[in-house]
Amino acid sequence: MQMQILIALIRKEFMVLLRDVHALTSLFLMPVIFIVIMSLALKDIYSPPVRGQSYALEVRDKGPLADEFVRRWVALRGAPQSMPAAPQEALRRGALRYIVIVEPTFSAVLSAPNTPSGVQVRLIADPALEISLFRATEAQLSALIGELRAEALQDRFTGISTKGGQAIHLLVSTERLSLGIHPTAVQQNVPAWLVFGMFFVVNAIANLLVQENDNGTLSRLLTLGVSPGVQLLSKGLPYLVVNAVQAALMLAVGIWLMPLLGGDGLSLAGIHWGSLILLLAALSIAAVGMALALASLIRTHAQASTIGPILNVLMAALGGVMVPRSIMPATMQTIAGYSPMNWGLEGLLAVLLRHATPVEILPQAACLAAFGAVMLMAAVVLFKRRTSL
């Protein structure tokens, strides 16, 4: 009989949800919008475009090595802008991203056999230039100057000119292991905002419970002998389905919509589907468990509309959704390790980028499921307290 009641209440939950445009928007549209915006905005963060940044060159040396330096730098970075009257001001305004100044003694110092003395090339950058671009430019400058000096010394002592033959970059090979998948913005953002979106159920469930407490339907069901456990299950189970639809929708957006919008596409090629399903299920239990516990604690719509979103944003900030955990200081990384959103995110990244097996993501899945179970137990206790006068 309890099963019949549960089915009727779940059916009611779906009918109420499907007729609530605001809830549908916040549950499905908001996370999709987040994924689209963040993926497009951060499109280049994983492959910064070193070429095409506006820059100016000031060459104070008339020697042959300076000419060669300019030729090769332009080949690497494109044509420079003309040097403005107030170069530092142009940098501060962002009109130029960086300036390279070649000092008058450049050719002489590079071709002299003794240890080079004094700065020969200066790199001055826009204060807003990303640190990765700044370091890449610095490294390219050092490598080019090294090449020119090696060529000049060889020419001087052996008389054999090998212009362009000291291609140092040919000596170095770099590779980022990714199982064939490049860590694009979409590949990073879909898991992050998927985790965030799944926790949006907190607001929806909290508002639902406040409304049903206020209008007396919770008490009415208790009076009819519907136990708190059945009432909580009737709220939780539909939202597990909501989480599943959210996950499918957001993965679909990554795979099919993002390429249409000019972004990179999400690839699920080669992933372990069992791992993905296990992790999403555990994540959903954690999200719904927390939503039910919080909803049972909250008393007013004002609380539901503030506490839920604030908690979500804080958990997202701590959990690496907004700022990747890898770039956090050590202390913050430790704190992030205790965030359920971080367990979900690390697990999803492992599934999508490293093709982790179910065993490999078991620690994250277990933490999420345990967290969900504790939250569900808390929800039952709090719900009983809430419905007793």
Partner 1 sequence: MLHISDLGYQYPHSSKPALDGIALTARRGQVLGLLGPNGAGKTTLISHLAGLLPIQRGQILIDGVPLAQVRAASPTRIAVAPQEYAFYPALSVRENLQCFAAASRLGGKVRQERIAQSLAFTQLERFANTRAARLSGGLKRRLNLAIALLPSPELVLFDEPTVGVDPQSRAFILDAVKTLAREGTAVIYTTHYMEEIEAIADHAIIMDHGKVLRDGTLTDLLGEGAARLRLVIKNMSPETVCAQLAALGATRIEGEYIVVTLNENISPATAIAAAESAGARIEQLDYGHYNLEHLFMALTQRSLRDE
Interface residues with partner 1 (CB under 8 A) are: 1, 4-5, 7-9, 11-12, 15-16, 19-20, 214-217, 219-226, 387-389
Nearer to partner 1 by Cβ, of 208 and 266: the residue is 208
What is the smallest separation between the CB atom of 378 and partner 1, expressed in angstroms?
20
Cβ 331 to partner 1 shortest distance, Å: 41
- Least distance from partner 1 to the Cβ atom of residue 232, Å: 15
8 A C-beta contact, residue 244 and residue 280: yes
CB of 22 or CB of 176, closer to partner 1: 22
SS3 79: coil
Q: CB 25 → partner 1: shortest distance, Å?
A: 16
Q: Which is nearer to partner 1, 7 or 302 (CB)?
A: 7
Q: Minimum distance from CB of 33 to partner 1 (Å)?
A: 25
What is the chain's length? 389
Give the amino acid at 321.
V
Residue 291 amino acid letter: A
Q: Rounded to the nearest whole angstrom, what is the least distance from the CB of residue 305 to partner 1 in the complex?
A: 19
8 vs 377 by CB, closer to partner 1:
8
Residue ranges of E strands in the chain: 55-59, 98-102, 121-125
Do residues 273 and 279 make contact, with C-beta atoms less than 8 angstroms apart?
A: no
CB of 354 to partner 1, least distance (A): 44
Closer Cβ to partner 1, 94 or 216, answer by number: 216
Q: What is the DSSP letter of 266?
A: P
We find the least distance from the C-beta atom of residue 385 to partner 1, in angstroms, to be 11
The widest CA-to-CA distance across the chain, in whole angstroms, is 101
Q: CA 133, CA 136: separation in Å to the nearest integer?
A: 5
The rounded distance, in Å, linking the Cα atoms of 228 and 102 is 76
Strands ordered across the beta sheet of 121-125:
55-59, 98-102, 121-125
What is the C-alpha separation between 251 and 187, in angstroms, rounded? 10
**Type of residue found at 73:** W
Pick 7 or 373: Cβ nearer partner 1? 7
2: number of Cβ within 10 Å: 12
Which of 91, 155, 168 is closest to 122 using CA atoms? 91
Q: Helix crossing, 185-198 with 340-354: angle to 10°?
A: 140
C-beta of 61 vs 212, nearer to partner 1: 212
When the beta carbons of 111 and 219 are compared against partner 1, the nearer one is 219
Closest approach of partner 1 to the CB of residue 327, in Å: 45
| 205 and 292 Cβ atoms separated by less than 8 Å | yes
Rg (CA), the chain: 29
Q: Cβ(161)–Cβ(155) under 8 Å?
A: yes
Q: Are 153 and 111 in contact (CB under 8 A)?
A: yes
Question: Is 124 or 222 the residue whose CB approaches partner 1 more closely?
Answer: 222
